[in-house]
Structure formats: C-alpha cells, structure tokens
Amino acid sequence: MTIFFGVLAILLLLAFIIRKAHRNTYEAVLHKVQVGGCPEGGDGALRILQLSDLHLEKLSITPDDVYNKLKDEAIDLIALTGDFLDREESIDKLGPYLAALNALKPTYGMYAVFGNHDYVLQGEAFERLRATLEAHGCTVLQNETKTITVNGQTVHIIGIDDFYTGRSDIKKAYAGVKDGINLVLTHDPDIVPHMKDYHFDYLLSGHFHGGQIHWPKPYHLAKMSKTLTERNMIKGYHEWEGKPFYINEGLGQTGVNIRIGSKPEVTLHVMALPPVAGTEAVKAV
C-alpha cells in the first residue's frame, strides 16, 4: 500500500509538471532591449520587432495574441528569424500571423530568413512557403542584403541563410555592402564565431528556444552547438569580440509542446543609430 501511494504521488506530481509546462507555451513574454544607449523613442532609434521559431505545428499563441500584445508599440521594422514550420500542410496557418504583423504597420516593412526546419520542405512546397511570405509583403533574404534609409542613415539588412544546415554564404550575403549600419538576420547564432572578418552592428537569431526544457539545464543544446552553449550563450543579449547579438527564445515549440525554464518570446529591440559598441550599450527598457 505504501508503494502504491508513493507511485500515485509521483504520477500526480508528473501530471502537474506537464500541465504547467504546457501552460507555459501560452504565456508569451514581450522583452524590450535597448542597444546603443539611445533613449527610447528618441531621434535615431530603429525599433525592430523580432519573432523567431514559430513552429506552427506546436504553437499555442494565436495571431490575435500577437497583435494585442504589440498593437500599442511603435514598430519600424519586423524581423522573422526562421523555423516557421515543418510540414507543407502548415503553410496555410502562416497567413493569419503575417496579416497580424502587417496590421502593426511597420514603417520599413517585414524581413525574413529561413531556419533548419523550414528546409524540411523541398521543391514546390518550399517555394509555396516563400511565396506565402512574399504575398504578405515580407522580403525574404537568402544570403542577400536589402538596404534602406532611416533618418538619413544607410541601414543594410543582411540576411544570412541557415548555418545549421550548411546553407550560409557570408561572403555572398555581404556582397555590395559598403558604408552603413549592418543589421544581420540569421537563424542559427552559432554562425557568429565564424564572422570575425565581417562587421555587424547587431545580429538577430533564434534556434535554441532558450533550451525549451531548461531544467536543471538544457543538456540537449550540446547537440546543436558547442561554441556558444559551452559559454552559456543560449538566449538573450550577448557579445562576441565586442559585436552584439541576440538569441530569441522563439514563439513556438518543437518536439513536445511544453516549456520548462523558458517561455515564448517576442522581442522589441530599440537600436541606436549610429550604434554604440561595448557592454554598457544595452539595457532592458
């Protein structure tokens, strides 16, 4: 009888943990990060909304949730850093999220790069994903650059394709990039140590999900990255040789639809123009 009640207690505890872990997937957090020391809303600030890792097959956040959380924010540019889905039948689910983001009226538009899960799709299926993004006004960047002018300053939006699947071509992505401010969008942050010879003022990435199951620590990330994870660079703001980059925890989940020690994230980066380097150049706002 004692063994029975012991097993029952363990099962009840396990059920509670799983229920709470699933509930966490509905609780998106809006993180605001200021880069470069520019006062929020001041002249020369570029306000970048970043979403990453939607994983539409296991996404608890609705398009209305996204819109309502962000509708009162001034947004200059939207950056989508990959891993939208795994299966072709999920493509139709993407449209409502893109429509919700467009309703936020970003001044300089919306830009996207692909992640490793997106490349599970091939041929016509992959082209349909790309076409869906473009049909909603999203500029897709695969090792290429789009240049815009913000408050009289040149800003290069450099999209580097997925590093994890070996599709990154940094040289090609930077082709034609001259003087200006370099904002890099990419999926896998593990590319950062390979960019020693390429300047960027800020880099946005995702891929790690903040561990997703981060208890007592995210052991599984060792299979995805060594250089960054062994330095505990798995989420949030970091610097590599003085160059700032950010790892978004992602909006959706992969594998199982639970989160422990991590919650879905949307991030609003307020980037000073021109940027200011150094560790004191960033703080939460």
**C-alpha span between 272 and 285 (Å, rounded):** 13
Distance CA 185, CA 182 (A): 10
- Using CA atoms, how far residue 226 sits from 93, 112, 124, 176, 210, in Å, is 34, 26, 34, 32, 15
pLDDT of the residue at 26: 83
Q: What is the mean pLDDT of residues 67-95?
A: 96
CATH class of the domain defined by 27-272:
alpha beta
Q: pTM of the prediction? A: 0.88
Model confidence pLDDT, tens digit, residues 241-284: 999 999 999 998 887 777 776 889 999 999 998 643 443 444 44
Using the 8-state DSSP alphabet, how is residue 260 labeled? B
- Please, are residues 259 and 38 in contact by the beta-carbon 8 Å criterion? no
Position 185 scores a pLDDT of 98
